[in-house]
Amino acid sequence: MDFNNLDEYYEYLENDTNFQYLDLNTYKYITALRDKTVDENTKKLCSYELFFADFSIETGLHIPKFQSGSNAYPTLELFDDNFDYIKVRAEEVKNQKYKAKYNHLLWLSPQKHIDFAKKAIESYLFLLQNSSFSVDDNLQCFSFAKYFKNLFVVSQTVSYKKDEIITYFVSLLESDKLNDFTKYSLMEFIVENGKKIDSSITQTFYEYSEISIKKLDSRVLESYLNLLVILSQKLNKPTNEFHEKLGDYHIAQLKTEKNQGFIAHHYYTNALEEYKKANNKEKIEQTAVLLEQAKKTIDLKKVSFELEDEKFNKVLNQWWDFTKEKTTQLIEKGNYKDIYEYLVLENLFPKAATLNEEIKPVMLDLVSTITFDINKNVSKNKSGGINPYSIHINNFSINHIWLVVSKGIKNGKVSYDSLINYLKNNSWYGQDYTYLDTNNETQGFNWIELLSPSIQSFFVQTEIDIKTNNHNPQGYILAIDSLVLKFEGLLRELSRMIGAQTIEIKENSTEERIGFDKLLDNEKLKSLIPEDDIAFFKFLFTSKGMNLRNNVAHCFFTTKNYTSAVMLLLIVALLRLGNYKLETKEKEL
């Protein structure tokens, strides 16, 4: 959407009836207006609106969009006019969604005043009470929960309309406005975060949940049972019944799993813990026997450890459900450019600081540990601890990227053609780096031509895998080998274009190309590329992580190592390294 002035932008906000909590487009619109406007004062106001659009407030607190060490974006310090502009907007805007956010932002700012909190509360409440959406719309239910949590926290903080807000939510329990998971999450949030919540409210939640577990499906049953444990404790009621039901739930989950091994071990262990809490000796004995039998099927060569934590599992499931819904909305509503920009800009990877971290379990202090690389060489750089960066990549990042790419392929928006078009038009790879030398011969690189075979090979094999519901590592060998080696060439090309050193003179006066690690550590490159992306490149291509450059170049990879997951990471690395426009100095010669 293209705005010619701020008034058109304000009108757009007033007419915005989108209830969704996450807005992926507003910041793009205001950025475009800021960049094309000439008037400096208008530019500054656009910047304020951009900061405002980028602010995310969750559970009453500011959640930075980007975080790098102690630095975050956006921050309240960006508003250098004592928030005068935001105050004016908070008064003028009529749309309750934005009035709530403007006032909430002021409440969090140094200009903090209870009137801002009250106005935010009134707007949030009006927004929720007048919202209308299908109970099957998970994204809208998710948005409702986000708004409600902000509303609840502020109301509890300033003691304004506390009872009215809780009463409103209680009225929704027997309605079909919200899905079961949203009702559960808000009941838990109220109980855990409310100040002096009347016991009658807790009792109401208990009675509602107790009746609900008789008809809930397995997707939310565990959540309600855990909630009933919390509610029972707060009401001084016995919890045995719900711990036993949780044990039964874990046992029942095994019937839906085709593979056993660690999966069976996981569920039996969880069930055993619950039966112990329920003090059910018969089920404790039965489950202990089953657990012992399940250990025989565990292949330690495939899995080295497993994290078992109830709260972690719950958070993980919530993250997965949210990510699936978020990526579905992206694919359905966005075009191919939006999808590839999402892979460039979204926080898919861990923070740079975690790349060098190692977590060493206490049990490893009792034994000597040796770490081997892929070629079975002893690694002197690693102590045998657990690298959280690698865990995040393998358990979160790859799954997140695969959701985007697989859904995009099935939808037709992610393809060889669309990716090549994106790279041609939105990255420096598409710029013409060829030139005529003194012999009238073409020199230089056409990077799109060099990258195309790898990308085409990937999409051919991926589409086959999706259609056959199979995974053929052999089909990714050419794609990965080609793109890994081309990436080093791209990194050197980018370094050269920005004036970063790519060769060094040795003591014997011979020239030598600077290694991959040194290229990434160059200060000019680091000033251009975000710190987290640099860490991601190091993880992919150096001994800090997967060491793809070395393993591919020296044929240390066997067929089983060539997976679609590796190629997905390479494609995101390609997108992120190419997210710039550069001047081709050869044209000036």
How far apart, in Å, are the Cα atoms of 180 and each of 220, 229, 303, 393, 517?
7, 17, 35, 31, 50
Q: Helix, strand, coil shares of the chain as percentages rounded to 5?
A: 65, 5, 30
83 dihedral zone (left: phi>0; alpha: psi -120 to 50; beta): left
Find which of 320-324, 335-339, 366-370, 579-583 is predicted with most confidence, using mean pLDDT.
335-339
String of b and e for 324-346 (b: at least 16 CB within 10 Å)?
eebbbebbeebebeebbbbbbeb
- Compute and round to an integer the Cα radius of gyration of the chain: 28
Q: By three-state DSSP, how is residue 179 classified?
A: coil
Contact residues for 227 (Cβ-Cβ < 8 A; gap 6+): 184, 187, 188, 205, 209
**pLDDT tens for each residue of 126-164:** 999 999 999 999 989 999 999 999 999 999 999 999 999
Nearest partner of 8 among 58, 52, 49, 40, judged by Cα: 49
Residue 258 has pLDDT above 60, yes or no: no
Residue 438 has pLDDT above 80, yes or no: no
Contact residues for 335 (Cβ-Cβ < 8 A; gap 6+): 413
Give the model's confidence band at 108: pLDDT under 50 very low, under 70 low, under 90 confident, else very high. very high
Segment 563-577 mean pLDDT: 93
User: What are the φ and ψ backbone dihedral angles of 74, each rounded to 5 degrees?
Assistant: -80, 160
Segment 88-98 mean pLDDT: 96
Residue type, 39: D
Q: By three-state DSSP, how is residue 435 classified?
A: strand
* Tokens 């039965």 sit on residue: 286
Nearest partner of 107 among 77, 87, 78, judged by Cα: 87
- For the chain, the residue count is 589
Find which of 251-265, 367-381, 475-489 is predicted with most confidence, using mean pLDDT.
475-489
Give the model's confidence band at 296: pLDDT under 50 very low, under 70 low, under 90 confident, else very high. low
In 430-542, the DSSP E strands lie at: 435-436, 442-443, 503-505, 511-513
Q: How confident is the prediction for the chain on average, in pLDDT?
A: 85
Where is average pLDDT lowest: 149-163, 441-455, 575-589? 575-589
Give the model's confidence band at 20: pLDDT under 50 very low, under 70 low, under 90 confident, else very high. confident
For the whole model, what pTM was predicted? 0.54
- What is the token pair recorded at 162? 């506390």
* pLDDT score at 260: 58
Higher pLDDT, 585 or 409: 409
Higher pLDDT, 259 or 124: 124
Q: Is the distance from CB of 109 to CB of 85 less than 8 angstroms?
A: no
* Tokens 């460039």 sit on residue: 344
Residue 570 has pLDDT above 70, yes or no: yes
The DSSP code for 556 is -
**pLDDT tens for each residue of 189-221:** 999 999 889 999 999 999 999 999 999 888 899
Report the alpha-carbon distance of residue 287 to residue 379 in Å, rounded.
40
Segment 528-550 mean pLDDT: 89
Q: By three-state DSSP, how is residue 116 classified?
A: helix
